[in-house]
């Protein structure tokens, strides 16, 4: 039993909910590092508390007290940790690693997974489909490489959170397709759609700083969730805060979940070749095998997936930035691993490209769902905007599909459609008017474009592109979310074809 009598005297009556929440946290949290941090605050013991006051783990403060009750700093920390909790929205969760209900830790993830499963059961009970989707098709779970042990006292990671989620679903006899290793985000919605799963979960913070991780949710159609799912899941989380069982002890059982995922990786790359590659044989025969392209994974998971996407297109191998090639949760060479930031994030890639004579740089963000593109013309590196690459991809995909329609492919006579969010360029709208294809704007966010693309396909359209100016692109129908892996291969193929004609990417941009 935790001694909190002195602490209770220091809390006002209106703050008693914070004290109760903290006590429940200590009772329910199985992770020793986060549990002890809260326990020390409650008892007033000396403790080193890091990353719990909104600093994302960047500060460290030592709390010490010889009294029977904690000092005011402890109370302030507890208020920060247990006043309210992370809000589950259409983008899921994203927050720093750390203890308490306003950070990402094993207990908040467990509660989220329980709430999600409870909501899925409610939906399927209402639709009378419980035995045909959730309990037969199951869920897909992937994770990135993020972990907190190198910069906080807490033993937390995206992998742990994926395993906690898997344990929750497996304990209720739900099949779990758990990726065995780090995975690029696009593989999760692809697999979700492929097996007709009830949902897909990706534990990642994308391009956020190292202190963060997140919990991203895809619905059974492979698109990110939209209202009212977010509010309903949030309600079920609050209704299922107490662990259903001794889940910490049950984590070992996750190792026994043997749901194959390797085959889906192969099918994903096969789909890239059959659906998105314009000239596989021509790429293989290409005369330009010199180092045309330098690639960086930005310390994320993208390298092996980008390499396989090039192979799927028959392209020669890119030159990698060695310092940023392997997954590194400390993001050792960049404080903010967002390739959209330009030279500050891409300095090493530019130096490597100059050494080997590359004229183009491709950069995935850490979870490989976005793509930045640079080109050297006239001795200077130029970072293309998301709108510029979106427009170039629109041009490329339109020409590709017009050609395939003329050749009588299986999509012949399907009208072409493209999507962009309201914050993106209006250029494709003008092109659509001239060329006679459908162009629509959606609200900001791929959740809207992914779901709208599904509706348009059900109406008979061939949706060849959806994009947003924040360097997110979805080409074709392989996934219904932004996909930096496929976009990298498509841009690389464009570079090869333009090089054969003697021109740079900027030629298309200017035209």
**Structural class in CATH, domain 388-485:** alpha beta
Whether the predicted pLDDT of 11 surpasses 80: no
Tell me the pLDDT of the chain averaged across its residues.
88
- Kindly give, in sequence order, each residue whose CB lies less than 8 Å from that of residue 250, ignoring residues fewer than 6 positions away: 167, 171
Question: So what's the pLDDT on residue 248?
Answer: 60
Please identify which residue in the block is written with the tokens 């807490």.
Answer: 154
For the CA atoms of the chain, what is the radius of gyration?
Answer: 24
Least confident among 36-50, 163-177, 201-215, 346-360 = 36-50
Equal CATH topology for 265-385 and 388-485: yes
**The tokens of 177 are what?**
């397709």
Catalytic residue among 118, 157, 206, 320: 206
Label residues 224-238 b or e (16+ Cβ within 10 Å = b): bbbeebbebbbbbbe
Question: Predicted confidence band at 15 (pLDDT cuts at 50, 70, 90)?
Answer: confident
User: Do residues 210 and 299 lie in contact, with contact meaning Cβ atoms separated by under 8 Å?
Assistant: no
Q: Rounded mean pLDDT of 430-447?
A: 96
Whether the predicted pLDDT of 98 surpasses 70: yes
Whether the predicted pLDDT of 73 surpasses 80: no
CATH architecture label of 5-260 = 3-Layer(aba) Sandwich (3.40)
Alpha-carbon distance values, 473 to 12, 136, 428 (Å): 51, 32, 14
Pairing of strands 199-203, 360-364: unpaired
316 is catalytic: no
Determine the topology of domain 265-385 in CATH: Alpha-D-Glucose-1,6-Bisphosphate; Chain A, domain 3 (3.40.120)
**Burial of 508 (C-beta count, 10 Å sphere; 0-12/13-18/19+):** middle
Alpha-carbon distance values, 265 to 33, 192, 270, 359, 494 (Å): 35, 12, 9, 30, 24
Whether the predicted pLDDT of 78 surpasses 50: yes
Question: So what's the pLDDT on residue 71?
Answer: 63
207-264 pLDDT, tens per residue?
999 999 999 999 999 999 999 999 999 999 999 999 998 666 556 566 557 677 889 9
Question: So what's the pLDDT on residue 16?
Answer: 84
User: Do residues 117 and 124 lie in contact, with contact meaning Cβ atoms separated by under 8 Å?
Assistant: no
Q: Does residue 123 have a cis bond before it (omega within 30 degrees)?
A: no
Considering only residues 420 and 258, tell me which one the structure prediction assigns the higher pLDDT. Answer: 420
Domain ranges of the chain: 5-260, 265-385, 388-485
Considering only residues 148 and 403, tell me which one the structure prediction assigns the higher pLDDT. Answer: 148
User: Do residues 134 and 174 lie in contact, with contact meaning Cβ atoms separated by under 8 Å?
Assistant: yes
378-417 pLDDT, tens per residue?
899 999 999 999 999 999 999 999 888 776 555 557 899 9
């Amino acid at each position: 039993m935790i001694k909190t009598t002195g602490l209770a005297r220091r809390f006002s009556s209106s703050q008693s909910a914070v004290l109760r929440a903290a006590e429940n946290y200590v009772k329910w949290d199985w992770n020793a590092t986060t549990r002890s941090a809260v326990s020390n605050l409650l008892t007033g013991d000396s403790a080193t508390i890091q990353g719990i006051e909104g600093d994302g783990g960047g500060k460290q403060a030592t709390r010490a007290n010889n009294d029977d009750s904690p000092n005011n700093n402890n109370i302030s920390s507890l208020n920060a940790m247990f006043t309210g909790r992370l809000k589950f929205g259409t983008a899921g969760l994203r927050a720093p690693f750390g203890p308490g209900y306003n950070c990402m830790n094993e207990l908040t993830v467990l509660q989220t997974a329980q709430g999600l499963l409870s909501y899925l059961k409610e939906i399927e009970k209402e639709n009378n489909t419980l035995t045909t989707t959730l309990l037969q098709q199951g869920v897909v779970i992937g994770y990135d490489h993020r972990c907190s042990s190198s910069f906080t006292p807490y033993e937390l990671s995206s992998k742990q959170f994926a395993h906690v989620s898997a344990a929750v679903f497996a304990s209720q006899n739900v099949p779990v397709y758990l990726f065995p290793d780090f995975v690029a985000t696009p593989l999760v919605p692809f697999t979700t759609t492929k097996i007709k799963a009830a949902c897909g979960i990706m534990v990642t913070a994308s391009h956020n700083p190292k202190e963060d991780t997140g919990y991203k949710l895809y619905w059974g159609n492979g698109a990110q969730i939209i209202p009212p799912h977010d509010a309903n899941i949030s309600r079920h989380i609050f209704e299922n805060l107490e662990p259903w069982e001794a889940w910490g002890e049950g984590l070992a059982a996750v190792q026994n979940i043997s749901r194959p995922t390797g085959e889906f990786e192969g099918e994903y790359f096969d789909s890239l070749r059959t659906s998105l590659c314009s000239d596989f044989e021509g790429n293989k025969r290409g005369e330009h095998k010199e180092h045309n392209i330098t690639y960086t994974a930005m310390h994320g998971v993208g390298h092996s997936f980008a390499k396989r996407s090039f192979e799927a297109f028959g392209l020669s191998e890119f030159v990698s930035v060695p310092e940023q090639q392997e997954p590194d949760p400390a993001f050792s060479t960049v404080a903010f691993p967002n390739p959209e930031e330009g030279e500050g994030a891409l300095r090493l890639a530019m130096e490597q490209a100059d050494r080997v004579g590359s004229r183009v740089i491709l950069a995935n963000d850490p979870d490989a769902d976005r793509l930045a593109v640079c080109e050297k013309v006239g001795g200077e590196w130029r970072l293309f905007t998301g709108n510029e690459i979106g427009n170039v991809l629109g041009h490329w995909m339109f020409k590709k599909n017009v050609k395939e329609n003329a050749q009588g492919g299986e999509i012949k006579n399907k009208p072409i459609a493209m999507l962009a969010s309201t914050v993106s360029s209006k250029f494709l709208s003008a092109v659509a008017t001239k060329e006679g294809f459908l162009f629509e704007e959606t609200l900001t966010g791929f959740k809207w474009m992914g779901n709208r693309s599904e509706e348009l396909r059900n109406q008979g359209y061939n949706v060849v592109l959806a994009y947003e100016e924040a360097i997110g692109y979805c080409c074709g129908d392989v996934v219904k979310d932004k996909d930096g892996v496929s976009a990298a291969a498509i841009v690389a193929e464009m570079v090869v074809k333009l090089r054969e004609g003697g021109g740079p990417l900027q030629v298309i941009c200017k035209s």
